[in-house]
Structure 1
């Protein structure tokens, strides 16, 4: 642990927006550098001016922002119009619209229609990763971070005092356990599938639980189960679940939360409201408070005009001036350059007090694997799944996987499926098909195991989970077998629709490393048409397609999946299948109203 900043130690440690994160996607790097360099030269030469006359036609940009930061960005945009701030001699006209982060990420990942905005500022880079996770995603070009807000646990005064605030400090695991150890302490959170605050907090709790020794995953799952019983759709809604005064559960308020997982900024807004609600007091865990980082992204940058690109960068530059910093801080955000001190008044208003640590430098950002693992944990905790797993068993699955010591695609696929299986509960239902060409007479597919509850007893003894594990382990490529993709996809989807179970997440998970090679099968166009006709919003079954390796028909996988309301994914290494399945379940499931 490093040393922590305290509200009465204002200049001790810097805080502020972190530099743009490196993302594992291809971006138009040269173009970004050109735009940024051009903007820098223009500022130096006065081409991007503030005030004065400007051309009759302004540069209009649409900026979609996370609902919490949208008011602050709108205030900066209004000031820019009032001050006649210009870009290349044209007035800057930025219109800010608030939209839910998860909805924007979902729409961008589908890439079905051109976005109606040029700039996106979600509350976390997690949403950028989510938006870019599918092959059809819109292009996002990172251009910096606007603000910062740590994720904390906020408690009403009586509960905070019972937990020893402000003198007593906790790890994430210790804090959430203490906050929920008695019935009267009711702990709430926003849905980690729809809230970066909820996801970052749950990821930190899971990491802290694992760091606490054996049984960490069990403890993390117990916390997830607890949160799932008192979850809301959004951060704004979770605030409305709090006790309206300090009466708590002991004075006739039994269903109100007394503590919630919350951002510092949300607590600042709550405590500044002056509506008589109890002021929240914040705990910043000693193993690090992760932070919302508000990344600034150009959307489909290659489609923007030069004027639009330069104006977008001009607005980003405007967000780093002193007046904008004051605006952001007035709305409860940490803002400023890397060496700017933490605003003690801001933290104090939000409910932070010494010796509660609140420096985010000690919080290691979660890895992509940790986030996927948390999403998987949340999925199987909150909603049971009914999955028909359909595995390509064609001869090409014998091909070795680079860097895997001679293991074949099938070997690595089986290991990844077994890892995924371990994530599901006894209530989840999973089945297994395999396919190649003409495995069963004229059929390209064979049903290896029925889709059934993992906890059910198997006919030969043991459980369905054990039976399925043996079936995964026994999968082998069919010598000289080709890929009968289209007929298999249709048959598996038809059966999944016919055996739909209400109240569960129903899906077909289709894994393939090739292209359809059955000349007698249904055509791709006919398959897509048939799947669209079968898809029923009252009985939703998503087809999740995973194209494995360089020879897979990625375009077909994406088109087939989209026809059902599902999603297509690509993995170069079959070892990533387990993570993608859990990610896909969460991504597709979150689109439900």
Structure 2
């Protein structure tokens, strides 16, 4: 299979030069393959070498394909056409079997040990391909092309649209979200960004747009996410089910009704088709933010399995070319999808509820980076499920070492800056405390409780809030001259306190930062610590131990073993500036794992 794989344009990293070289070779090979498949079949037809009238049953190449539920009906129709018309790949007919599966569920199924039972995957967005790669630990899927396109916008019922000034008034993402959240009659809803590409892409755009306003932009982004979290559907397929006029009673169940929703243009197209068409009195009207709409891009991803034959690989590429032919493009347009890389079809826009001067044909928003999406998802996770964290920071003498390339700043300086960035991501409902540790820091103890764990919005003794008290305490952290790393006793004490003060309904965790291995000869042993952590861990009251090894001197294996024993995960960062991103990523990963358990 490897010799037929295609490049993944989204792949980046420290080995970029090697990947670029490999990508150029692979592009050339893939291009030659597509031309050979398409051109070879055409020549064979002209020469009469292929008999399209004979039965294909004995020679058909079977291809199992999984597609996002919104696009799956079109993909299946094209697969049916391929069978009916006996369209071939290298002289063999294609038997493409299409299964509709939610993209987030498919992405979650990829692990380092998984063996997918399908050869091709068409999720609704490339972010799921990236997530699958992260989960599997290797490039198990590669993007060979894109089959459709649909921008993410805000759909409004007619009364709500009129109050927002549709179609003449235009908004940025932040302005649109703010307008929809300030008026209760507009009731903004969305699919859960943890499971919806449209929801996550919009959330990322809202956050970036809010930050561009300056000042309290980050706070505004979190506030908008908080309001949005009060009215979410579990999937894209259910978000339109929350739509109801302003005077309608609350829906049954946990979701309240919405008058405005974040959704794709194609989803609005389908909704309007079921409600009398885009010009009907009950049809959705679409607002396209003027700072750019992100797009669902429906990548065609080849899933690489050891047993995939050359015939299957070539059939997969042949089916991709079939999805791009005029008949398939008409079928996609008939379901409200735009053609990738082509001019906008006005009939699709009008049927979906778009109208000038809404900027439906303007340049798209720059696709958010993986880190921007991770930050948005981290903010969402923290907003939806408040956290209770005890932050435990290494204050040993080695934290005074300079960080290369930081202008002379020490590990502690960079660590403090990263922790302050992380603190800004948490809401007033989150509870956070602070310890530091080094050998014999407080009498015979290796640790100090600098700020008790409490709600960030609570008033603090002497004025201010818990947030302002923590901000000052983070800024005041200093390495202890000649202090060694008292890791084991500190970890046990912090975990004991966190489990004994467990807060129901929150994500409970100890966040441990250390730049070295345990250096206290009088402490408990590593084996004893691991055993005690296993004993303290309670699945009914989970407290995750997030342990971060900072710098090259930290013992990565030790940190990861300790973290696993505490029901969490261990991480390695060479640059302390990465701590903030790692904390958010760890919270997202562990919260999702707890929900699946």
Whole-Å Cα distance in 1 between the matches of residues 28 and 530 of structure 2? Answer: 42
Distance change in 2, residues 1:463/1:281 (3 Å): closer
Structure 2 partner of 1:24? 12
Distance change in 2, residues 1:445/1:343 (3 Å): same
Which one of 410, 414, 417 corresponds to residue 416 of structure 2? Answer: 414
Structure 1 partner of 2:287? 283
Distance change in 2, residues 1:370/1:85 (3 Å): same
Q: Is the 8 A contact 1:134 1:568 kept in 2?
A: no
* SS state at 1:361 partner: coil
Structure with greater contact order relative to length (CA < 8 Å, sep ≥ 6): 1
Distance change in 2, residues 1:324/1:251 (3 Å): closer
Whole-Å Cα distance in 2 between the matches of residues 88 and 290 of structure 1? Answer: 38
Whole-Å Cα distance in 2 between the matches of residues 537 and 258 of structure 1? Answer: 40
Tell me how far 1:302 sits from its aligned partner: 6.9
How many residues align? The count is 567
CA radius of gyration, larger in: 2
Whole-Å Cα distance in 1 between the matches of residues 484 and 95 of structure 2? Answer: 57
Structure 1 partner of 2:224? 223
Which one of 89, 99, 102 corresponds to residue 101 of structure 2? Answer: 99
Q: Is the 8 A contact 2:511 2:547 kept in 1?
A: yes
* SS state at 2:10 partner: coil
Whole-Å Cα distance in 1 between the matches of residues 381 and 138 of structure 2? Answer: 23
Whole-Å Cα distance in 1 between the matches of residues 520 and 94 of structure 2? Answer: 57
Whole-Å Cα distance in 1 between the matches of residues 408 and 97 of structure 2? Answer: 55
Say if 2:298 is the partner of 1:294.
yes
Structure 1 partner of 2:3? none
Name the stretch that deviates more: 151-160 or 205-214. 205-214
Name the stretch that deviates more: 427-436 or 487-496. 487-496
Say if 2:534 is the partner of 1:540.
no
Whole-Å Cα distance in 2 between the matches of residues 342 and 363 of structure 1? Answer: 15
Structure 2 partner of 1:249? 246
Which one of 36, 40, 50 corresponds to residue 46 of structure 1? Answer: 40
Q: Is the 8 A contact 1:194 1:590 kept in 2?
A: no
Q: Is the 8 A contact 2:160 2:185 kept in 1?
A: no
Name the stretch that deviates more: 29-38 or 92-101. 29-38
Tell me how far 1:557 sits from its aligned partner: 5.0
Tell me how far 1:325 sits from its aligned partner: 1.9
Name the stretch that deviates more: 26-35 or 315-324. 26-35
Q: Is the 8 A contact 1:193 1:586 kept in 2?
A: no
Task: Output one character per residue of 1:168-195: Cα deviation in whole Å (capped at 9) or x when no partner.
Answer: 3333233333334433222211222222
Structure 1 partner of 2:30? 36
Structure 2 partner of 1:7? none
- TM-score in terms of structure 2 length: 0.81
Distance change in 2, residues 1:123/1:426 (3 Å): same
Name the stretch that deviates more: 361-370 or 281-290. 361-370
Q: Is the 8 A contact 1:66 1:123 kept in 2?
A: yes
Which one of 74, 77, 83 corresponds to residue 75 of structure 1? Answer: 77
Whole-Å Cα distance in 1 between the matches of residues 294 and 133 of structure 2? Answer: 22
Whole-Å Cα distance in 2 between the matches of residues 201 and 135 of structure 1? Answer: 26
Name the stretch that deviates more: 84-93 or 282-291. 84-93
Structure 1: 5+ residue runs without aligned partners?
A: 1-18
Q: What's the RMSD between the two structures over aligned residues?
A: 3.8
Distance change in 2, residues 1:266/1:518 (3 Å): farther
Whole-Å Cα distance in 1 between the matches of residues 562 and 378 of structure 2? Answer: 24
Q: Is the 8 A contact 1:487 1:522 kept in 2?
A: no
Tell me how far 1:230 sits from its aligned partner: 1.5
5 Å-filtered alignment, 1:93-242, equals 93-108=95-110, 111=112, 113-133=114-134, 136=137, 139-212=140-213, 214-242=215-243
Distance change in 2, residues 1:343/1:411 (3 Å): same
* SS state at 1:236 partner: helix
- TM-score in terms of structure 1 length: 0.82
Which one of 584, 589, 592 corresponds to residue 591 of structure 2? Answer: 589
Whole-Å Cα distance in 1 between the matches of residues 535 and 187 of structure 2? Answer: 46
Structure 2: 5+ residue runs without aligned partners?
A: 1-6
Whole-Å Cα distance in 1 between the matches of residues 530 and 94 of structure 2? Answer: 45
Which one of 433, 436, 443 corresponds to residue 435 of structure 2? Answer: 433
